[in-house]
Structure 1
Amino acid sequence: MNNAIAEHAGRSDEGQRITITFVIPSYNVEDYLGRCLSSLLIEQRLDDVEIIIVNDGSTDGTLRLANEYAARYPQIRVIDQENKGHGGAVNTGVANARGMYVKVVDSDDWLDQVALHNVLEELRRQAASPAPVDLLITNYTYEKQGKRIKQTIRYASVITPNRVIGWNEVKRFRPDQNLLMHSLTYRTRILRDKARLELPEHTFYVDNIYAYAPLPQVRTLMYLDEDLYRYFIGREGQSVQKDTMIRRIDQLIRVVRLMILATPSRDSVPEGLYRYMIHYLTINMGIDSAFMVLSKNRENYRRKDELWRYLDDHAPEAGQAVRHTLIGSLLTVPGPVGRWLIRVGYWFAHNVFGVN
């Protein structure tokens, strides 16, 4: 980390302590950025809030709009860079964050006003504490285009709210209950000093690495049962659409391989954390396997088997643990029967749980 950045982390140029930095990676989002920013700026107290908009080589009016907001609000900084992809934009934002905490908000998403107020109040209490919590977890809601009923992912069944805890106090997660980028607010030093997180550039789906690789550096966490993050999903060309994910299977594989390499040994982390990481790794192995099978491409069938061998070769302990889960055992049934099981499982997840 740059020494100048390190010296000023947590303080503005005027010496005011900054509680949180919101990083907004932005690429050709002229139509959405205003909604995102408005949801942050509606909070009445902003003296200890920083908003960094990273314009990632946009070719529309995104940079102009970002600069207009920055001219009106001193809390906003705009960083203009050549296109590096979502991961490169997050890297830039985190590297330049001056807040004690950092949260990534994608530019087509937004935050809930009431929940934001409550979350900021808790973060201020943590910032004043002699032992600030490493990770704050909140809920997120799928804002699916054209859907009136919204699905919110909550964690009260696995994490006791409003308490600072360790990983061994975390219970078992359901398959649809994962800690995504949307639910995480990290202490900045966890990402920058401890994990030294550097996401791959020009790669989609790196939010899975962001929500996985730093976790072994997190010692304490707190859950607030607040529906903070509104995750907009369903617009044309979005990276999580089925056909798009099949086209980008190379990038899905790349991300999961990096997750495999970031998986710690069981005896090096708390049991509760290892259990969760195996859970999340299993889900991502399932996603990759499903889309390779759904492609109906024989080469992708071969690559699915190759990915499972990569897991066994590079993280054999984790590979064994993943295979021993119910999902893992179904994913690794060989041949046409195994592919049929995956297709049925995907249909069930998509139509019953609403998973893409």
Structure 2
Amino acid sequence: MKLLSITVPCYNSEKYMRKCIDSLLPGGEDVEILIVDDGSTDATAAIADEYAEKYPAIVKAIHKENGGHGSAVNTGIENAAGLYFKVVDSDDWVSDTAYGEILDKLTELTGGEEVLDMLIANYVYEKEGEKRKKVIRYRHVLPEDEIFTWNDVHRFHKGQYILMHSVIFRTKLLKDCGLKLPEHTFYVDNLFVFEPLPYVKKMYYMDVNFYRYYIGRADQSVNEKVMIGRIDQQLKVNKIMVDYVTAKKQFLATHKKLRNYMLNYLDIITTVSSIMLICSGTDENLEKKNELWKYIKQKDPFVFFRLRYGLLGSYTNLPGKGGRKISVEGYKLCQRFFKFN
């Protein structure tokens, strides 16, 4: 059995996928690289086949009809033979040194008395045009170099959330929890790292800069103009997260640190949705913002109160044009500070 399965979702990725795959090959035969060609129309399929032919013990090329990022991740999970599972997007890459350290740690922890559910490491914003790279790390929030539980986790700061880039899950956990990401939908990476959390019991944090998150291309899904154009997909993911927290209400009531983390993460996602709707400047999208908050209130008054009257909810619901202008300016300030979009 392989130690780690790494899924690389690819859609028309010919310009950058080689850098990604080349960064993963040093894992050797302990790793399987699943290149999922999601119905590409360029040379992606041929490049995937080239790597599979050259490295048959490491690389597997999977070709499928276009279903979107979530569909490609689902396919990766279904085909994964490794004990652990990681997603690396085709325009990102990993650090060679940190990669080796993580594989060594997974080997060490495998077969131990405690079953590891999730390993967390740092990620780096590789933002186009910026020499100074922002590192998202979890020092003083997560215990270092030891297995821990949610009870041992401290308070996360804004902008310090565990994203898809940070995590390696136990493969069987993903399969057992029934994770199934929506097809033809952007922003499902939030669901990938959100829905398994109630099933995660044992975690391990390594303070190494592993994942390199490339950001800044004009056509990227996290580009502000692109997000506004795809706002209905952002709202879809946002509402699925609300539904999920509501469905897990009874469980989360007895797991307060996990509940607080998940609600704070949902707070960030709802803030992004609200700000994008405000930034668009259309009456239609302002009504969608109102509808989103009504949806949350109808689903769960406690969740609504927590989001609406917390710092971010109050900030995104300031009244009138003046209030909306303040909200947008505040968002731009956060952009500069946290280095996102």
TM-score bracket relative to the smaller structure: over 0.9
Determine what percentage of the aligned residue pairs are the same residue.
42
Deviations 1:172-216 (A, max 9, x none): 1111111110001111112111x2000000111100111111111
Match of 1:343, as an amino acid?
A: V
Q: CA deviation at 1:329?
A: 2.1
The one-character-per-residue Cα deviations of 1:18-55 (angstroms, maximum 9, x if unpaired) are 11100110011111111111101124xx2221111100
Deviations 1:283-342 (A, max 9, x none): 000000000000011111111011011111113322222224211222233333431231
Which deviates the most, 263-272 or 134-143?
263-272
1:76 aligns with 2:59: yes
1:236 offset after TM fit, Å? 2.7
One-letter code aligned to 1:50: E
Q: Which residue of 2 aligns with 1:10?
A: none
| Residues 1:150 and 2:133 are matched in the alignment | yes
Listed as ranges, the gaps of 5+ residues in structure 2 are none
- Please say if 1:224 is aligned against 2:224: no
Please name the residue that 1:283 is paired with.
Answer: 268
Q: Which amino acid aligns with 2:113?
A: P
Asked if 1:203 corresponds to 2:188, the answer is no
Please give the residue correspondences for 1:59-98 in structure 2 after superposition, counting only pairs within 5 Å.
59-73=41-55, 74-98=57-81
Q: Which residue of 2 aligns with 1:259?
A: 241
CA apart distance, 1:353: 2.6
Letter in 1 for 2:249: S
Letter of the aligned partner of 1:335 in structure 2? Answer: G
State the 4+ residue runs in structure 1 displaced beyond 4 angstroms: none
- The corresponding residue for 2:165 is 182
Cα deviation digits, residues 102-133 of structure 1 (max 9, x gap): 00000110000000000001111222213221
1:48 maps onto 2:30 in alignment: yes
- Provide the rounded CA distance (Å) in 1 between the counterparts of 2:127 and 2:331: 19
Task: Give matches, 1:73-152, under 5 Å.
Answer: 73=55, 74-152=57-135
**Separation in 1, partners of 2:139, 2:309:** 26
Aligned to 1:163: 146
Q: 1:246 aligns with which of 201, 223, 228?
A: 228
Q: 1:302 aligns with which of 263, 278, 287?
A: 287
Once the two structures are superposed, residues 145-189 of structure 1 have per-residue CA deviations (whole angstroms, 9 ceiling, x without a partner) of 111110110001211111111112111111111111000111111
Q: What residue number does 2:217 align with?
A: 235
Farther off after superposition, 34-43 or 334-343? 334-343
The normalised TM-score by structure 1 is 0.92
* CA positional deviation for 1:220: 1.2
Q: What is the number of equivalent residue pairs in this alignment? A: 337
Does the CA-based 8 Å contact 2:122-2:135 persist in structure 1? yes
* TM-score relative to the length of structure 2: 0.96
Would the aligned equivalents of 2:125 and 2:339 in 1 still touch at CA under 8 Å? no
Q: Whole-Å Cα distance in 2 between the matches of residues 275 and 266 of structure 1?
A: 14
Determine if contact 1:265/1:317 at 8 Å carries over to the other structure: no
How many angstroms does 1:267 deviate by? 5.1
RMSD: 1.3
Alpha-carbon shift at residue 223 of structure 1 (Å)? 0.7
Ranges in structure 1 where 5+ consecutive residues have no aligned partner: 1-16
Asked whether the equivalents of residues 266 and 274 of structure 1 are also in contact (C-alpha less than 8 Å), the reply is: no
**1:138–1:223 Cα contact (<8 Å) kept:** yes
State how far apart, in whole Å, the 2-side matches of 1:326 and 1:120 are.
40
Q: Secondary structure at the match of 1:78?
A: strand
Q: Which amino acid aligns with 1:296?
A: G
